[in-house]
Amino acid sequence: MLSEYIDRQLKKAHYKLLKDGTYFGEIPGLKGVWANEKKLEKCREELQSALEDWIMFSLHKGQDIPELKINSKARMKEYA
């Protein structure tokens, strides 16, 4: 379930080559999920890492995650 969510979100990613020669990637609708690297493949890897961190942080804070069918508040209480 989580891997499928990550894959779906990464398919929505937008990448662009900046004037300084680096690549910038972001996922629309997920504030703060972005990466900037010299190589496109590294940018993709860093964007996935940023997404994974964002998911964990959101769950920790009890925030809902768009399109992921997890009630994070209830789940976090189970682990408290």
List, in order of start, the domains of the chain with CATH numbers: 2-79 (3.30.160.250)
* The model's pTM: 0.82
pLDDT digits (tens, 9 = 90+) for 32-56: 999 999 999 999 999 999 999 999 9
- Measured CA to CA in angstroms, residue 11 lies from 8, 25, 77 at distances of 5, 12, 31
> What 8-state DSSP symbol labels residue 44?
H
What confidence score (pLDDT) does residue 2 get? 87
